[in-house]
Chains A and B, each alone.
Chain A
Amino acid sequence: MTLALSHFSAALLFSVFASVVFGITQRSTSHEQIRYGLYCFAMFVGGVFAAGWVMWLLRR
């Protein structure tokens, strides 16, 4: 089986799984874990969009 994801969907899935692990391992209480996981996910996705715009500017 071969899976060919787009760059964006691959980065998005990566963000989901990494955020889940970061959230659980880096905070103690359930509330903090959920908040930190969402924060990491937002940072990952924000970073993807920021890097995308930087590459667009460099290409011009």
Chain B
Amino acid sequence: MANSPTTKNGVTAGDKPQSVGIMSVVAPAIGWFIPGAGHLIQKRWIRGILLMTSIFIMFFLGLAMQGHIYQPNGGDILDILGFIGDVGAGGLYVLTQAMNWGQGAISHATADYGTKYLIVAGLLNFISAADAYHIAIGKKP
């Protein structure tokens, strides 16, 4: 397929079903683990950088504001929901667990904003990963 036209995804028309199939799994997975990377590997540079910047800054602002990181074994239903939100940040959540961040004593009133920042950064990353999937299957340009 040397002379086949190349699409925007970098795949040729002849092997499109197989390549798109692989990308439809890889892009959201990488996009979940590294926010914005699902767009970057599909050459959506500006979108990827904007998503990465927004989610990274939001997550680290949440940590700087002494936000709480939920654990997988919270027990309470609200803790489980908080964990689902936090785990959306993928690699960032793994990093916080490895470094034991987000577990300190809260010393000011607006620290609850930090917890919300962390959860929403994870939830926004879920949306970002879904968007990377839609680009990979050709549903979105």
Contact = CB atoms under 8 A, between A and B. Distances in A.
B131 A24 contact: yes
A18 B124 contact: yes
Nearest to A29: B141
A13 to B, nearest CB: 7
Q: How large is the interface on B (under 10, 10 to 19, 20 to 34, 35 or more residues)?
A: 20 to 34
A12 to B, nearest CB: 11
Contacts of A17: 54-55, 57-58, 121, 124
Contacts of A21: 51, 54-55, 124, 127-128
Contacts of B131: 24-25
Contact of B50 (A1, A20, A28): A20
Contacts of A16: 54
Interface residues of A, number: 20
Q: Is the interface of A mostly helix, strand, loop or mixed?
A: helix
B67 to A, nearest CB: 10
Nearest to B131: A25
B107 interface: yes
17 contacts: A1-B64, A5-B110, A7-B113, A13-B58, A14-B113, A14-B116, A17-B57, A17-B58, A18-B120, A18-B124, A20-B50, A20-B51, A21-B54, A21-B128, A24-B131, A25-B130, A25-B131
